[in-house]
């Protein structure tokens, strides 16, 4: 049974009276314009929350909702995304979003929340690696990968082969994000690119037959989005999907005519569009979120490589699902999905700012002692900072080589030097040698 959002019955409401109340004219009318405008601030709400708000006097909940709907409809803009009936999804330019985008653009696409001084050559790869790793883990967990963040991070840091399907999902997402950041952001979008990215996302996943990896589904595949109780989205006919994928590609390459759409909103639309079309039997969610990153990195919003958006989405999966459902079922109003994603982007920025500030304090204390008294290089300093953040972690020769992209002899020199100075202690486990932190690291932060 397809889930349907609850809607009030608006058929018996006197629309002329509603219009008079909006503009504050007519006998016994009450201007509700200020109250309507408040519903555009903060979260973009649906009826299920609006009906619990304090209303102007002499107005029913249903009348107020109709007023909001009329007000929204008057401000809506047609998007390029069509629904299965051929109607277009619409969206609204929320004023607070315009201010947010303006601030980002004034700071060259990223330095609103991170300056290039903070991300110099020494730190850039570390921040990118952290952001991509966190995004890959969270995006896979949203799609059912069953492992903890700590185990997943360790697995990726070690560079070992995945031991189960969950780890394979995470590894595939990680490689996809790496390739988007290093290669695909420099390419135009095309159906071949979509198929390539899907092939990488689904590679070696046992539950997905090889013939379905990097291949569009067909109408025989009865694909639904559900939680085992309710169906929230049913797969669309492939004749429609294939036609719309052609338009998706043109939109992604800025080849569709239409009014200007800010790149961040456009990236969110690409995210939604893939999720709505659901062109594959599996991996659609991971691909949709990858498309979001591809477009922003292509447009030189470079700092988004450091923001794991899926990590904050994972904290509110029901709201994420509802953002899709409301957009599809409430008069094709894409503003629900746009608003949700922008709020999550802001939260991810805030989290990253806090992380960066914390690292600045740690770095300033450690760098002074580490460089002046111990003569440590940047890789060694970053490793000790990592251990300071989690004393129970470990590293190895292969992990160090994998993270810092250095030769074997360089990695050996880094680790042996730290062990000789007393910051690390080595322990043999099977055929591997692991390095653990000692209490001496604490002294670098005092």
Q: What pLDDT score does 112 carry?
A: 46
Q: Give the tokens for residue 435.
A: 């390095």
Report the chain (446 residues): mean pLDDT per 10 consecutive residues.
89 77 55 75 90 81 89 94 96 87 69 52 66 92 90 84 93 94 95 97 92 93 84 93 98 94 96 97 96 95 88 94 96 97 92 80 64 78 81 86 88 93 90 89 72
Quick one: pLDDT at residue 180? Answer: 95
Residues 6 or more apart in contact with residue 213 via CB below 8 angstroms? 198, 199, 202, 203, 205
pTM for the predicted model, two decimal places = 0.85
| Residue 234: strand pairing partners | 224
Q: Which domains does the chain have, with CATH numbers?
A: 15-75 (no CATH), 80-352 (1.10.3290.10), 382-445 (1.10.10.10)
Place of tokens 């995304």: 81
pLDDT at residue 121, rounded to an integer: 46
């Amino acid at each position: 049974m397809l889930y349907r959002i609850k809607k009030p019955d608006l058929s018996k409401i006197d629309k002329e009276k509603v219009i008079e109340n909006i503009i504050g004219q007519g006998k016994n009318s009450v201007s509700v314009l200020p109250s309507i405008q408040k519903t555009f601030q903060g979260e973009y709400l649906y009826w299920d929350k609006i009906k619990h708000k304090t209303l102007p006097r002499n107005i029913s909940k249903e009348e107020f909702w109709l007023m909001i709907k009329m007000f929204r409809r008057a401000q809506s803009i047609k998007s390029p995304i069509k629904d299965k009936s051929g109607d277009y999804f619409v969206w609204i330019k929320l004023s607070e979003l315009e201010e947010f985008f303006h601030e980002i653009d004034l700071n060259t696409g990223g330095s609103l929340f991170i300056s290039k001084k903070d991300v110099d050559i020494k730190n850039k790869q570390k921040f990118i690696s952290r952001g991509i790793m966190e995004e890959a883990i969270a995006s896979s967990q949203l799609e059912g990968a069953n492992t903890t963040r700590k185990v997943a991070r360790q697995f990726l840091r070690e560079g070992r082969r995945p031991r189960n399907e969950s780890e394979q999902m995470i590894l595939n997402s990680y490689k996809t994000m790496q390739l988007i950041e290093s290669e695909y952001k420099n390419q135009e979008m095309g159906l071949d690119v979509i198929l390539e990215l899907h092939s990488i996302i689904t590679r070696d996943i046992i539950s997905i037959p090889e013939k379905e990896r990097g291949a569009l589904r067909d109408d025989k595949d009865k694909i639904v989005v559900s939680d085992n109780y309710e169906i929230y989205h049913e797969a669309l006919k492939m004749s429609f999907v294939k036609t719309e994928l052609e338009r998706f590609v043109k939109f992604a390459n800025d080849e569709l005519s239409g009014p200007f759409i800010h790149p961040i909103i456009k990236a969110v639309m690409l995210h939604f569009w893939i999720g709505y079309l659901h062109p594959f039997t599996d991996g659609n969610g991971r691909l949709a979120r990858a498309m979001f990153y591809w477009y922003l990195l292509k447009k030189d919003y470079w700092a988004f490589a450091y923001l794991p958006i899926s990590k904050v989405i994972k904290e509110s999966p029901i709201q994420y699902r509802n953002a899709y459902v409301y957009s599809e079922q409430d008069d094709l109003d894409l503003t629900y999905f746009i608003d949700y994603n922008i709020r999550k982007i802001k939260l991810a920025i805030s989290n990253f700012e806090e992380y960066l500030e914390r690292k600045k304090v740690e770095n300033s204390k450690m760098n002074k002692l580490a460089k002046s008294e111990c003569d440590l290089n940047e890789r060694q300093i970053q490793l000790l900072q990592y251990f300071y953040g989690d004393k129970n972690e470990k590293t190895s020769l292969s992990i160090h080589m994998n993270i810092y992209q250095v030769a074997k002899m360089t990695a050996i020199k880094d680790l042996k030097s730290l062990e000789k100075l007393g910051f690390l202690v080595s322990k043999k486990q099977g055929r591997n040698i692991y390095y653990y932190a000692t209490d001496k690291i604490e002294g670098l932060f005092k």
